[in-house]
């Protein structure tokens, strides 16, 4: 009996040892793993023809999370059904459901979501290879770059025009799939001779479909034709955007005192296109309609704004704030809407204040060629009454002419109409008596904001040309500062050439786009119903523009 027990114990231990060896668990402890996993071996090799198996194998440089590979594995053309993943240590055999199609080139993509099990390090770049079940391999290749705030996880979806199937990425899964690397670059290989429509999609739900309003997208400027004479298409570039089809609407209205109502929308609205006339108040009990005097942003946060009203509302009424014709940042207009609010009899005792004054550049410096001051107030004011309360002067009390451009009833720009001197100091003086709010509150004081002007000799510049673009008559070139918010320059290329003469020194991105619709702004196109984007390209390097040292002969291809 003892011998039998010892024999069973020995066999159990042996089975346990074999099982541990088969699973090849990674060793524990040691230094923190910062090395991303790589594929060090795979089968079949890239370019294999007459492949008759129904599986492929991958070997990684280290142990990886099994589920992450399942999420990051793509094969084109698309195969129905779920493959089986059979693991042995760092090696996996991926078995397809059924046989592969004959005389077909398949392209395998292992995306960057694959991560190791030590420290969740992800692969640096997607891994691609192709093989064929026929005697030849399709060698069509498309490459390019995707530009956006975060291109991690962006997929490239290619759709064939064969058989005149409707290309609707909302309902149809792609025929070919690839993924973007961390630097935005991509390639999709193994394409058969055909016409293709290709998109960049940040597939949020990983369902291989485009979900409007959830997935960022990049639409192509052109369809791609792969033929015997042209097997390669380069520089199919995409700019990511998010399609906004949701109309803005009021979420709440809160009366904070008897002269002000704070509004909250579901998203940012285009406040520069909204006026007080877009609102009115309706007393449903007394059947009385009240106008709104001012609309503004003020100190409210995020999606909140404010309106100012006269104080003759009746407490006994059922009060509704009505809004109509209000656009969001994408131009979607809100439906006419009324939202109920509670009356607040608290008096407004706060005088209008100044939130901040901004200049063209940091350190209270204005532009020599286009000087302006951007003033933001805490409350709405009468635009017709404030002009006498504003003045711009130098240290010798000389006055300077200016115009006022109101953005909303509490925000405006002062554009100075005369040339300034970098050797002088200037002051914007605001007599607060002229900033009277709707309740009659005002401050008996003068606010002074001091500023200077940049030396016109301290500007930099960029001169160059756009090459290999047929549509040279409608090309817009743009410089975008990477140092300063809202600082950019734009010009139209003349016979392919461009020249920026008065650029504030700093670091800039340089790019062009073909303004097909002549509206002066880049067109992103649409996924469905489909619309082409406008062709564009970036200069590959960041430009470092130094004072008095313009850069020449910059070529964007």
Q: Which of 422, 441, 456 is the last residue of a domain?
A: 456
Check residue 70 and give its pLDDT.
Answer: 94
Same domain for 304 and 267, yes or no, is yes
Same domain for 215 and 315, yes or no, is no
In a domain, 321, yes or no: yes
Same domain for 388 and 319, yes or no, is no
Q: Per-residue pLDDT tens for 311-339?
A: 788 777 799 999 999 999 999 999 999 99
- The structure tokens 């401050």 sit at 443
Please name every residue paired with 376 in a beta bridge, in sequence order, or none if there are none: 356, 411
In a domain, 33, yes or no: no
Same domain for 73 and 192, yes or no, is yes
* Of 357, 348, 354, 350, residue with least CA distance to 432: 354
In a domain, 32, yes or no: no
Same domain for 255 and 206, yes or no, is no
CATH number, position 73: 2.60.40.1220
Q: How far apart are CA 140 and CA 199, in angstroms?
A: 17
- Distance from chain centroid for Cα 168: 23
Rounded to whole angstroms, what are the CA distances from 87 to 118, 211, 231, 418? Answer: 18, 33, 36, 75
Check residue 421 and give its pLDDT.
Answer: 96
- The structure tokens 């975008």 sit at 480
- Distance from chain centroid for Cα 79: 32
DSSP string, 201-254: EE-TT-SSS--TTTSEEE--SS-EEE-SS--EE----EE-EE---PPP-EEEEE
In a domain, 270, yes or no: yes
DSSP string, 243-265: ---PPP-EEEEEEEETTEEEEEE
Both tokens of 234, joined, read 């380069």
Both tokens of 196, joined, read 């293709």
CATH number, position 544: 2.60.40.1120
Check residue 87 and give its pLDDT.
Answer: 97
Please name every residue paired with 160 in a beta bridge, in sequence order, or none if there are none: 196
Check residue 279 and give its pLDDT.
Answer: 98
Both tokens of 467, joined, read 């090459």
Rounded to two decimals, the pTM is 0.83
In a domain, 294, yes or no: yes
Strands 460-466 and 497-503: antiparallel
Query: Which residues, including other chains, have CB under 8 Å from residue 408's CB and lie 6 or more apart?
Result: 271, 272, 274, 295, 296, 297, 380
Check residue 33 and give its pLDDT.
Answer: 73
For residue 507, count other CB atoms closer than 10 A to its CB: 13
- Exposure string of 524-538, with b = 16+ CB inside 10 Å and e = fewer, is bbebbebebbbbbbb
CB 503 within 8 Å of CB 543: no
Q: Which of 242, 259, 292 is the last residue of a domain?
A: 242
Check residue 14 and give its pLDDT.
Answer: 43
CB 331 within 8 Å of CB 244: no
In a domain, 391, yes or no: yes
For residue 412, count other CB atoms closer than 10 A to its CB: 20
Range of the domain at 84: 39-242
In a domain, 524, yes or no: yes
Rounded to whole angstroms, what are the CA distances from 263 to 293, 328, 334, 341, 351? Answer: 15, 15, 14, 10, 20
In a domain, 19, yes or no: no
Same domain for 398 and 530, yes or no, is no
Same domain for 260 and 197, yes or no, is no
Q: How far apart are CA 377 and CA 308, in angstroms?
A: 13
Q: How far apart are CA 39 and CA 480, in angstroms?
A: 38
Check residue 7 and give its pLDDT.
Answer: 47
CB 446 within 8 Å of CB 430: yes
| Structural domains in the chain (count) | 4
- Below-50 pLDDT ranges, the chain: 1-24
Q: Which of 341, 376, 392 is the last residue of a domain?
A: 341
Strands 460-466 and 551-556: parallel
Same domain for 194 and 180, yes or no, is yes
Same domain for 156 and 53, yes or no, is yes
Q: How far apart are CA 204 and CA 153, in angstroms?
A: 9
Length of the chain: 557
Same domain for 50 and 128, yes or no, is yes
Check residue 13 and give its pLDDT.
Answer: 46
Same domain for 433 and 305, yes or no, is no
* Of 442, 422, 439, residue with least CA distance to 431: 442
What are the start-end ranges of the H helices in 24-80? 66-72
Same domain for 301 and 381, yes or no, is no
């Amino acid at each position: 009996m003892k011998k039998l027990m010892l024999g069973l114990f020995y066999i159990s231990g042996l089975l346990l040892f074999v099982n541990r060896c088969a699973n090849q668990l990674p060793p524990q402890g040691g230094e923190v793993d910062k090395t991303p996993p790589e594929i060090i071996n795979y089968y079949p090799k890239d370019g294999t023809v007459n492949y008759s198996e129904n599986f492929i194998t991958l070997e990684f440089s280290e142990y990886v999370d099994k589920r992450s590979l399942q999420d990051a594995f793509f094969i084109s053309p698309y195969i129905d059904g779920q493959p089986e993943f059979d693991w042995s240590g760092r090696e996996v055999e991926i078995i397809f459901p059924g046989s592969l199609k004959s005389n077909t080139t398949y392209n395998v993509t292992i995306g960057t979501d694959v991560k190791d099990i030590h420290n969740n390090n992800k692969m640096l770049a997607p891994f691609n290879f192709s093989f064929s079940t026929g005697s030849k391999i399709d060698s069509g290749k498309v490459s390019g770059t995707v530009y956006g705030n975060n291109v991690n996880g962006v997929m490239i979806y290619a759709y064939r025009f064969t058989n005149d199937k409707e290309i609707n990425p909302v309902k149809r899964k792609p025929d070919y799939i690839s993924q973007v690397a961390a630097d935005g670059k991509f390639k999709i290989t193994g394409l058969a001779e055909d016409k293709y429509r290709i998109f960049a999609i940040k597939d949020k739900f990983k369902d291989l479909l485009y979900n409007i309003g959830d997935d960022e997208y990049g639409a192509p400027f052109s369809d791609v034709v792969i033929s015997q004479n042209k097997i390669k298409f380069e520089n199919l570039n995409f700019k990511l955007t998010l399609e906004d089809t949701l109309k803005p609407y009021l979420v709440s209205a809160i009366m904070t005192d008897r002269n002000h109502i704070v509004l909250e929308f579901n998203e940012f609205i285009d406040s520069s296109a909204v006026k007080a006339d877009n609102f009115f108040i309706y007393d449903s009990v007394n059947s009385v309609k009240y106008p709104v005097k001012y609309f503004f942003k003020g100190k409210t946060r995020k999606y909140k704004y404010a309106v100012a009203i006269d104080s003759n509302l009746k407490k006994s009424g059922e009060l509704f704030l009505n809004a109509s014709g209000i656009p969001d940042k994408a131009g979607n207009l809100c439906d006419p809407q009324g939202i109920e609010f509670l009356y607040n009899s608290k008096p407004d005792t706060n005088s209008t204040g100044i939130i901040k004054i901004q200049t063209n550049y940091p350190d209270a410096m204005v532009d020599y060629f286009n000087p302006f001051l951007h003033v933001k107030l805490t409350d709405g004011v009468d635009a017709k009454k404030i002009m006498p309360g504003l003045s711009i002067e130098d240290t010798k009390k000389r006055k300077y002419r200016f115009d006022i451009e109101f953005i909303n009833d509490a925000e405006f720009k002062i554009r100075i109409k005369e040339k300034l001197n970098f050797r002088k100091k200037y002051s914007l003086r605001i007599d607060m008596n002229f900033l009277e709010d709707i309740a009659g509150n005002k401050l008996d004081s003068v606010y002074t904001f001091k500023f200077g002007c940049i030396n016109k000799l301290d500007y930099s510049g960029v001169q160059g040309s756009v090459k290999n673009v047929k549509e040279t008559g409608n090309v817009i070139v743009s410089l975008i500062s990477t140092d300063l918010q809202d600082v950019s320059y734009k010009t139209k290329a003349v016979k392919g050439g461009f020249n920026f003469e008065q650029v504030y020194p700093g670091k800039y991105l340089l790019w062009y786009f073909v303004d097909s619709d002549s509206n002066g702004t880049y067109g992103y196109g649409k996924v469905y119903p489909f619309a082409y984007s406008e062709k564009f390209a970036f200069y590959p390097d960041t430009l470092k523009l130094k004072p008095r040292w313009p850069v020449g002969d910059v070529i964007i291809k």
